[in-house]
Amino acid sequence: MTEVATRAQAFGLIAEGVAAGLSAPWRLYLARGCRYLSLSVGDRAEWNAWRTHLGCPELSVRVYDAGGEIRRSSVAEVVLDGCRISVELVEEIGTDDLDQLLVADPTAIEPEDR
């Protein structure tokens, strides 16, 4: 696939998602050479919707301290036609959420289980 075709395909996937009703990512980064496309979304519902749309099977979760605030970064990735596409969600969490840090989808936990 040529660079132009890969670029068109990468942006086409995003355009298809937005046309299907997904929220547009608040940040979209396409690396030079079109081998890496990164989407940043605003909340977990958007993240899950984009993961489903793109078919992202891989997931990593990282928790880190950002100047006194605890943040959880969830990243899902897929490689399509040689282009690595990632969807990232960064959430600020409180110490009352510490029991959920290792849960892949905290929305799946019932309120009485929290």
Q: What mean pLDDT is predicted for residues 1-25? A: 77
- Where in the chain are the domains? 3-113
Say what the pLDDT of residue 114 is: 42
Give pLDDT tens digits for 32-79: 666 788 899 999 899 999 999 988 877 888 887 777 778 888 999 988
Instruction: Indicate the average pLDDT of the chain.
Output: 78
Cα dihedral angle (105, 14, 8, 31), rounded to 10 degrees?
-50
Element (H, E) at 93: strand 83-93
pLDDT of 102 > 80? The answer is no
Q: Is 75 left (phi over 0), alpha (psi -120 to 50) or beta?
A: beta
